[in-house]
């Protein structure tokens, strides 16, 4: 069973990402060594309306025994009620409930959800307190350095969340107004770690096993959370796990391995969504990033609507990359 101590053991966690961390993505990251995966962000308000489009986000991936669910919303009662419903519906498949207080997207923050909650620490604490009182599983919070550029509020915010009952805290080193621009300040993660007693998960700009080790060394964070670096690159989890264990870090995947994984990803998506797997377009572009011939194939990728379409484009790119490598060998 997951408890607060679980986070202290150098876990390597796949971050929740809207439109990305569906069952297919999670299954592949788990295979490569992710310690825990998250569903996509789930709207508590939508769940309260019994929205089936939202409820399907809670389905487990292949090989997934338990998953963390990240709820977003700004009404304590609704958040608590829906967290309780999620726990009842998922049973042992629910690892813990995370409350999103870090998403800077306008459609989220503009409605008072996500990182907008950092502007109202009292309301944020009320939400954590309400959710923690409604469920048996641990309740965690993910937030940022602060909301407004230059106004670092994460340390005091972390104290408030801990006092309200948060079992662990995930800290992203950017201000909300930065969105994903610039660089993440890992110093704020260290400050939060030095201030609170609950486990702290570091997040932001981990692009390699070396980055993950450096973040832990510089911040003292208990675990790390990987987001964009996992897009098209589930292998990063195996690499970070090896580095944390003091083993030799596996090499980056070959073009053949990237193409093979992209094909598997497409099939996993198709099993969920049927023949129309257009969501695979962005994943395909991520898998092929930097591969010779990928840029020229972008138009074809964006026209794919079936697994067979993706297979054809991926095979074409692979042949081009192999010919390119042979022509430039030596």
SS3 for 248-275 is CCCCCCCHHHHHHHHHHHHHHHHHHHCC
Of 99, 75, 74, which is closest to residue 86 (Cα–Cα)? Answer: 99
The residue behind tokens 């604490």 is 125
Number of neighbouring beta carbons within 10 Å of residue 69: 24
Residue 158 makes CB contacts below 8 A (sequence gap 6+) with: 143, 169, 171, 192, 195, 196, 200
248-257 long-range contacts, CB within 8 A, separation 24+: 249/209, 255/291, 255/318, 255/321, 255/322, 255/325, 256/318
Axis crossing angle, helix 235-244 with helix 209-219, rounded to the nearest 10: 50
Rounded distance between C-alpha atoms, residue 270 and residue 154, angstroms = 41
To the query of whether residue 304 is one of the catalytic residues in this protein, the response is no
Residue 129's pLDDT is 98
Q: Phi/psi class of residue 274: alpha, beta or left (left: φ > 0; alpha: ψ in -120 to 50)?
A: left
Of 107, 129, 110, 131, which is closest to residue 119 (Cα–Cα)? Answer: 110
> Residues 103, 115, 221, 304: which is the catalytic one?
103
Residue 199's pLDDT is 98
Beta-ladder partners of 12: 224
The secondary structure of residue 225, as a DSSP letter, is: E
Query: Considering Cα of 193, then 195, then 199, then 204, what sign does the dihedral take?
Result: negative
Residue 324's pLDDT is 78
Contact 52, 35 (CB under 8 A): no
- Collapsing DSSP to helix, strand or coil, 45 comes out as helix
**If residue 319 lies in a helix (H) or strand (E), which one and from where to where?**
helix 307-327
Residue 159's pLDDT is 98
Per-residue pLDDT of the chain (330 residues; tens, 9 = 90+): 688 899 999 999 999 998 899 899 999 999 999 999 999 999 999 888 876 667 778 888 888 899 999 999 999 999 999 999 999 999 999 999 999 999 998 999 999 999 999 999 999 999 999 999 999 999 999 999 999 999 999 999 999 999 999 999 999 999 999 988 899 999 999 999 999 999 999 999 999 999 999 999 999 999 999 999 999 999 999 999 999 999 999 999 999 999 999 999 999 999 876 666 898 999 999 999 999 999 989 999 999 999 999 999 999 999 988 887 777 765
The residue behind tokens 């070959």 is 254
Indicate the pTM of the whole model: 0.93
């Amino acid at each position: 069973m997951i408890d607060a101590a679980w986070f202290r053991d150098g876990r390597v966690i796949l971050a929740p990402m809207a439109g990305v961390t569906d069952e297919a993505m999670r299954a592949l990251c788990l295979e490569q060594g992710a310690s825990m995966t998250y569903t996509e962000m789930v709207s508590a308000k939508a769940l309260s309306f019994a929205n089936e489009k939202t409820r399907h986000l809670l389905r487990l991936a292949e090989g997934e025994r338990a998953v963390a669910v990240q709820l977003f919303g700004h009404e304590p009662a609704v958040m608590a009620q829906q967290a309780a419903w999620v726990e009842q519906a998922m049973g042992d498949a629910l690892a813990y409930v995370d409350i999103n207080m870090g998403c800077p997207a306008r459609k989220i923050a503009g409605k008072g959800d996500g990182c907008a909650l950092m502007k109202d620490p009292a309301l944020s604490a009320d939400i954590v307190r309400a959710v923690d009182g409604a469920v048996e599983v641990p309740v965690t919070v993910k937030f940022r350095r602060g909301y407004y550029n230059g106004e670092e509020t994460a340390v005091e915010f972390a104290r408030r969340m801990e006092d309200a009952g948060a079992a662990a805290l995930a800290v992203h080193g950017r201000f909300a107004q930065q969105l994903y621009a610039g660089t993440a300040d890992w110093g704020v993660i260290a400050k939060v770690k030095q201030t609170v007693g609950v486990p702290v998960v570091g997040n932001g700009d981990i692009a390699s096993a070396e980055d993950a080790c450096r973040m832990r060394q510089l911040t003292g964070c208990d675990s790390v959370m990987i987001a964009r670096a996992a897009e098209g690159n589930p292998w990063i989890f195996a690499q970070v796990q090896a580095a944390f264990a003091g083993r030799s870090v596996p090499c980056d995947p070959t073009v053949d391995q990237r193409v093979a994984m992209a094909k598997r990803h497409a099939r996993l998506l198709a099993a969920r969504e049927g023949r129309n797997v257009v969501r695979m377009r962005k994943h395909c572009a991520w898998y092929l990033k930097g591969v010779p011939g990928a840029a020229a194939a972008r138009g074809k990728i964006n026209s794919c609507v079936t697994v067979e379409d993706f297979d054809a484009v991926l095979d074409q790119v692979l042949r081009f990359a192999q010919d390119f490598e042979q022509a430039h060998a030596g």
